[in-house]
């Protein structure tokens, strides 16, 4: 299963971006889908996650500003990031886990997309 992110870029503080992550390849089902980010010199952290049932959870610092969603038919996940702050600057990665056969679970990462917020 391959994941491709898009939508990153350079935005001023207070601006918005919409990140997308598309899954391709042979897969049977998708369970959790999540967005992570890693800033220079820092550990990768979970930003938002959405379950197959649509339940969501967010990093405290992005609550009320970011919204995660998914379109299962399109195998796509989105992250709407509003009111961006310079501290949101990082490489954003998507992560998906599921099954590519009835007995084989997978967990895949995208290549990352850079988000830079200028002050």
**DSSP track, 53-101:** T--EEE-GGGTTTEEEEEEGGGTEEEEEE-S--GGG-EEEEEEEEEEEE
Decide if pLDDT at 102 tops 90.
no
Tell me the Ramachandran region of residue 19: left when phi exceeds 0, alpha when psi lies from -120 to 50, beta otherwise.
beta
Residue 4's pLDDT is what?
95
Residue 81's pLDDT is what?
98
Residue 45's pLDDT is what?
98
Residue 26's pLDDT is what?
87
Q: What percent of the chain has pLDDT over 90?
A: 92
pLDDT tens digits, 20-71 = 999 999 888 999 999 999 999 999 999 999 999 999 999 999 999 999 999 9
Residue 27's pLDDT is what?
87
Calpha distance 107→15 (Å, rounded): 32
């Amino acid at each position: 299963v391959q994941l491709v992110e898009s939508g990153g870029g350079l935005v001023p503080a207070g601006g918005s971006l919409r990140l997308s992550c598309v899954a391709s390849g042979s897969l049977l089902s998708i369970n959790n889908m999540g967005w992570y980010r890693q800033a220079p010199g820092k550990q990768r952290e979970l930003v938002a996650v959405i379950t197959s049932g649509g339940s969501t959870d967010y990093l405290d610092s992005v609550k009320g500003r970011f919204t995660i969603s998914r379109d299962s038919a399109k195998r796509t996940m989105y992250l709407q990031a509003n009111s961006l702050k310079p501290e949101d600057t990082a490489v954003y990665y998507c992560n998906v886990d599921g099954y590519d056969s009835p007995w084989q679970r997978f967990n895949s990462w995208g290549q990352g997309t850079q988000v830079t917020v200028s002050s």
